Chains A and B, each alone.
Chain A
Amino acid sequence: MQQGNKRFFPQKVALAIFVSFLLTLSLMVTRVSAHKVNVFAWVEGDTVFVEGYYSGNKKAQNSLVEVFDKAGAKLLEGKTNEKGEFSFKPPEKTELRIVLTAGAGHKNDFVISANDFGEVETPSAGLPSKPQEDRTYPATITAEPHQLEEMIDRALDRKLAPVIRLIRETRREGPTLSEIVGGIGYIFRLFGVAIYFSNRKKGTGRKAQGARNKEKGGTNG
């Protein structure tokens, strides 16, 4: 048997090397690899911005974005650009579910609630659309309620932009050290419990064996 193995294994090595060479030669381009795709969406004015990214802050380029309404009917679809971004003007300001499919088994979704859109009823009806710099307000503002509301909305969009950016950036952070260490802790606890139970089970049948293992566990812990 040993003789057979000795003749057999060099062939497998040769095959493995051959296959790896073949693959390296034929496939030269590498694509973004990751294990989780995230999607984040936010509202600015009347436009919804969608951003797709993998763990480790890699953009999800050219990924399918589908937008569904509350009832699950598909409203529209599109593809992310090379920055992993996609934007659209929603046909109605209701709850939206945005699904990003990045291929190779990666998929995630994000829900925008109706509240995110604010309550603007008549968009930019009678408001002066001058650039922000030379917009001057009189000492006493006389504006229709909806105009006022829109002005506030616009100001809030501007003021909140850095906050939204901050949230976007925080969300894409990878696992933290404490989470990793905690996970390892769970694993050892779990296997510790496994040892405990398997020792108890074997304790009656193989007393000597069980006692020996227990001793071992005792000195280690």
Chain B
Amino acid sequence: MHISEGVLSAPVLITGAALTAAGLAVGLRKMDNEDIPRVAVLTSAFFVASLIRIPLGPSSVHLVLNGLLGLVLGWAAFPAILVGLTLQALIFQFGGLTTLGVNTFIMAAPAILCYYLFARGINQRHSGAAMALAFGCGFLSVLISALIVATSLIFTGESFLEAAKLIVLAHLPVMVLEGFVAAFCLAFIMKVKPELLGATHAAG
């Protein structure tokens, strides 16, 4: 998911940065004082998730958690993911500073989409159905991220279908894993701290 520096051309980088700036503006405006601790917690969850590799078959994968971020934070996922990626770029050289805009958009846009698709439904449901929805949320967010990566790579000469196939294939285990993680996180939050979900949804 982290596109390296020097792969994308300037127009793609600028478009990504502009879209991220717009999302960031909305996210910061919707963010209330009381939301900040929650955003901080989920930002650190996002930051750590990309660093922990889970061995799976011949390779290893890492979680993205953008679906969960979207579900809990709504538009505040934009500032959260931007902060997480900035620190990953600075400390671990994942991605890079010039690709920060594009990478943020790649992971935050599906989060927002999932928020609108699933969050309201989850709020009105009992735990079983809500967990199923959360699974879909986690699964779909990584899938859409992969498709956005493929789209941004079109301009580097890689054909969309080829790139999309490769990236979606690579992330298929992540999608399933992500779905389960989102589902169980949600079940946990609903049981232990349901107000985590409530506030942003009322505001957004």
Whether a CB of chain B sits under 8 angstroms from the CB of A20 is: yes
Whether a CB of chain A sits under 8 angstroms from the CB of B181 is: no
A8–B172 alpha-carbon span in the complex (Å)? 27
- Are A105 and B153 within 8 A (Cβ)? yes
- Are B139 and A105 within 8 A (Cβ)? no
A30–B172 alpha-carbon span in the complex (Å)? 7
Q: How far is the CB of A49 from chain B (nearest CB, A)?
A: 22
The proximity string for B residues 166-178 relative to A, scoring 1 for CB distances below 8 Å and 0 otherwise, is 1111111111100
Give A26-78 interface residues, CB cut-off 8 Å to B.
27, 29-37, 55-56, 58
Contact of A199 among B33, B44, B58 (CB under 8 A): B33
CB < 8 Å A-B pair total:
160
Contact of B169 among A27, A186, A192 (CB under 8 A): A27
A37–B175 alpha-carbon span in the complex (Å)? 21
Whether a CB of chain A sits under 8 angstroms from the CB of B94 is: yes
Contact of B172 among A27, A174, A175 (CB under 8 A): A27
Contact of A105 among B7, B44, B93, B165 (CB under 8 A): B7
- Are A33 and B133 within 8 A (Cβ)? no
- Are A213 and B133 within 8 A (Cβ)? no
- Are A105 and B40 within 8 A (Cβ)? no
A213–B163 alpha-carbon span in the complex (Å)? 48
A89–B4 alpha-carbon span in the complex (Å)? 28
Which among B87, B118, B143, B166 has the highest number of chain A CB atoms within 10 Å? B87
The proximity string for B residues 48-68 relative to A, scoring 1 for CB distances below 8 Å and 0 otherwise, is 101101001111111000000
The interface residues of chain B lying within 8 Å CB-to-CB of A139 are none
Task: Closest B residue to A29 by CB, please name it.
Answer: B169
A33–B176 alpha-carbon span in the complex (Å)? 14
The interface residues of chain B lying within 8 Å CB-to-CB of A175 are 51, 91-92
Contact-residue size bin, chain B (C-beta under 8 Å from the other chain): 35 or more
Contact of A35 among B62, B84, B165 (CB under 8 A): B62
Task: Closest A residue to B133 by CB, please name it.
Answer: A13
Contact flag A191-B4 (CB < 8 Å), given A16-B140, A179-B91: no
Whether a CB of chain B sits under 8 angstroms from the CB of A190 is: yes
Whether a CB of chain A sits under 8 angstroms from the CB of B13 is: no
Task: Closest A residue to B59 by CB, please name it.
Answer: A32
- Are A194 and B36 within 8 A (Cβ)? yes
The interface residues of chain B lying within 8 Å CB-to-CB of A161 are none
Contact flag A104-B120 (CB < 8 Å), given A23-B172, A33-B60: no
The proximity string for B residues 92-133 relative to A, scoring 1 for CB distances below 8 Å and 0 otherwise, is 111100000000000000000000011011001100010011
- Are A186 and B87 within 8 A (Cβ)? yes
Q: How far is the CB of B43 from chain A (nearest CB, A)?
A: 5
Contact of A33 among B3, B135, B163, B174 (CB under 8 A): B174
Q: How far is the CB of A189 from chain B (nearest CB, A)?
A: 9
A189–B92 alpha-carbon span in the complex (Å)? 19
A175–B52 alpha-carbon span in the complex (Å)? 9
Which among A9, A16, A105, A199 has the highest number of chain B CB atoms within 10 Å? A105
- Are A30 and B173 within 8 A (Cβ)? yes
Whether a CB of chain B sits under 8 angstroms from the CB of A6 is: yes
Whether a CB of chain B sits under 8 angstroms from the CB of A187 is: yes
Q: How far is the CB of B34 from chain A (nearest CB, A)?
A: 7
- Are A30 and B59 within 8 A (Cβ)? yes
Q: How far is the CB of A62 from chain B (nearest CB, A)?
A: 12
Task: Closest B residue to A102 by CB, please name it.
Answer: B4
A101–B133 alpha-carbon span in the complex (Å)? 38
Contact of B7 among A9, A107, A183 (CB under 8 A): A107
The interface residues of chain B lying within 8 Å CB-to-CB of A184 are 44, 47-48
Nearest first, the 8 closest Cβ-Cβ pairs linking A and B are A16-B136, A191-B40, A105-B3, A33-B170, A9-B121, A35-B2, A32-B59, A184-B44
